[in-house]
Amino acid sequence: MSDHARIKGHTVTRTVHIEAPRASVWEALTDPDVMVKWFGDGVGFAALEPGSTGSIDWEGYGSFPIEITEVVPGDAFGFRWSGIPADKLDEYSTHVRFTIADAGTGTDVTVIESGFDKLPGGTLYRRDRLEQNREGWDVELDELVILLEDGAE
């Protein structure tokens, strides 16, 4: 597995290497039918284009609204999402951006989640959210690696 997610300033960053083709990685990051195999228990959005809205759901936690902000096929995918279960995006949302790049015989995926410094609730709340999401990206991206590498065999 790759390095753990880390907190730098008010962002969470992690890069993982996956021995899978770039096209497969892109599909896993952006196709709701594949996303649910590693990220959330339910994923849906109206279309794969900026401005499109939807949600990522976790059983036992609730529904987290998202709004897609960036789609560069095969390269980058970004969205804002709510840090707490909610009906719509509000001031508690942060921004997630995935970038993918060829690396040797596989693909590197980098996630950067930002915007924690703009959250209401003060320093302690922001630190808690940063730490929770840092741990979350460790779990979720490990699942992405397992899905794509085991599935490729």
Domain locations in the chain?
6-151
Task: Provide the CB-side half-sphere exposure for 98 (13 A, CA).
Answer: 24
- CATH number (3.40.50.720, 3.30.530.20, 3.40.640.10, 3.40.50.1000) of 6-151 reads 3.30.530.20
Question: SS3 for 3?
Answer: coil
Per-residue pLDDT of the chain (153 residues; tens, 9 = 90+): 458 999 998 999 999 999 999 999 999 999 999 999 999 999 999 999 999 999 999 999 999 999 999 999 999 999 999 988 888 999 999 999 999 999 999 999 999 999 999 999 899 999 999 999 999 999 999 999 999 998 654
